[in-house]
Structure 1
């Protein structure tokens, strides 16, 4: 005879586990459905180029802070030396005043009329009295010198303290900008690591080809440098083709963008400042159509500087991982302004 017993119901615990498992499966499938697709090589390159540009902007601020720090350190050293000399002069004046006081004491602190009464030789007394008057006048002069020196010393110390405070702020800015560009470079490396090994190799090969082709002298055609100085600066920079880009590099083994332009002009006998933000104000600003070989060319809101080489081409230190090379202006970014030194 068939059994009429009711089937066994699943336990509460089993229902809970099944429900949770199902919910997790739904959540995972939903998450997979809404997950962002892996960026393409072109998208990664675009983001990496943007990070490199941001890193270069931070590098230029770092360079500016470093230059300011070096200047302030020299000023602080000079002020501290001056304070030390002022203190030595003050100590000398105080010693001189002490000698005068000793001479007065030895001449006797007796009332002059009593000294005259006791003196066996009035002429001798009068000579001593005259010497005492001279000592008193010299003491007054020394006191005035001491007071002036104390005021001067206090001012020098105040100025030195202000410079030290400014130096501390600059050092903080230096550290902050260094961390910023290091973070941007780390982000760029992380992005590149999302690509396959083959994709990364393709990007490296493309960049290497750009560097190799940059080794060939650019045909300037009929574009003549605006001056012998510009021609010399461009020729100097051309001797550095193939040198690596390094943040903070000023040559001769490596360069960043403004380090290369500064070095190139220095070899031509002209000192220009260290950063893009100051180099842009060093000469006459000109438009793109007026560029001549050797002119400075600024891009991307003063984040990057290069040397114009002719035929819509610049010679520059591009970005981390690249080398000093010629490159079309159309591939670098937005043209800002040219500057003729």
Structure 2
């Protein structure tokens, strides 16, 4: 007899329910996606882009100073290595001369049948063989002991120089690796700045470039014109004539060099004559006055006598930012000449344009 029982219903199961749930989840995901899109960061304003570009340029300049320091050390290591190699060559020549003289004497003794044991040791194909027998040579009392001792000393000196040179090679490789790292960092910062500028519209970019061009034009004009183009506070600070020294002093010559560099482009790592970075400009200016300054901002600040801001005199070095990553040359009336950043030129600017860090007066 057939059963007439109805099959039991299973709520929340089956194809239609599962499909509905899937569609609901997909809808929720889509809604979330749209919500996330709607909450994406808005396009930055031109002021925000410019602030970010300025920050990136500041970081690039800090990396440039690290690059300059590493390059200075790499150059020093290379000079030391060259010196060691030249000294090694000179001592090797003297050693070969001494060995040759000893060999000539030994040949004469051999022909006369009087070749001593100590001399035979000295002429061994392995120089270390007779070094191990130094005590024996001294005891033997051979009349050529002085020559043998000179050869031994020469071998020791050449060996030491070669060891030092190997250490310098290692140092140089490490410094070159460090240079490459700083160079990559600088290039990455500059590329990021260019990407930020690319986010501006054509109109915004034109306005940005117009402001930059106006600043450059003001900087390359006379100090009076540069003062007129500056903001009101800077104009008030620069209203008095700039007391640039004209007494033939070293400071006067350094300031004159800085004035002559106005308008030349900023190039990171450059020390002139056609382009400069900030510390390259101050180093070159004071070098023209016969004063040798170290290469980086954080070493230049300790290269002379520290002076307070109210004691500044033309020619003093003025430093900015907490990491002492920027330097300019004070020219009087609250103004300086400096190489600001990539894409700019050497120019006149007020001291108040950047966060003050300190000042020094080269000796």
* TM-score, length basis structure 2: 0.78
Distance 1:180 1:97 in 2: 58
Shift of residue 159 of structure 1? 1.3
Instruction: Determine the structure 1 residue equivalent to 2:325.
Output: 303
Instruction: Determine the structure 2 residue equivalent to 1:327.
Output: 349
- SS of equivalent to 1:198: helix
The counterpart of 1:199, out of the listed 201, 204, 215, is 204
1:255-294 aligned within 5 A: 255-294=276-315
- Is the contact made by 2:243 and 2:333 (CA closer than 8 Å) also made in structure 1? no
1:97-246 aligned within 5 A: 97-109=102-114, 138-218=143-223, 221=240, 224-225=243-244, 228-246=249-267
Instruction: Determine the structure 2 residue equivalent to 1:127.
Output: none
Shift of residue 102 of structure 1? 2.0
Q: Go from structure 1 to structure 2 and tell me whether the alpha carbon gap of 1:340 and 1:109 turns closer, same or farther (over 3 Å shift).
A: closer
The Cα RMSD (Å) is 2.3
Distance 1:139 1:10 in 2: 109
Shift of residue 255 of structure 1? 1.3
Any idea what the Cα deviations from partners look like across 1:225-254, whole Å, max 9, x if unmatched?
577222221221112222111111222222
- Is the contact made by 2:318 and 2:330 (CA closer than 8 Å) also made in structure 1? yes
- SS of equivalent to 1:26: helix
Distance 2:206 2:350 in 1: 23
- Greater RCO between the two (CA within 8 Å, min separation 6)? 1
163-172 or 28-37, larger mean C-alpha shift: 28-37
Any idea what the Cα deviations from partners look like across 1:155-174, whole Å, max 9, x if unmatched?
11111111111111111111
Instruction: Determine the structure 2 residue equivalent to 1:23.
Output: 28
Structure 1 position 56 matched with structure 2 position 56:
no
Instruction: Determine the structure 1 residue equivalent to 2:78.
Output: 73
Structure 1 position 45 matched with structure 2 position 50:
yes
- Is the contact made by 1:211 and 1:323 (CA closer than 8 Å) also made in structure 2? yes
- Is the contact made by 1:223 and 1:292 (CA closer than 8 Å) also made in structure 2? no
Q: Paired residues, what number?
A: 307
* TM-score, length basis structure 1: 0.83
Instruction: Determine the structure 2 residue equivalent to 1:131.
Output: none
Distance 1:12 1:44 in 2: 52
The counterpart of 1:253, out of the listed 262, 267, 274, is 274
Distance 2:193 2:216 in 1: 20
* 5+ long unaligned stretches in structure 1: 1-8, 111-135
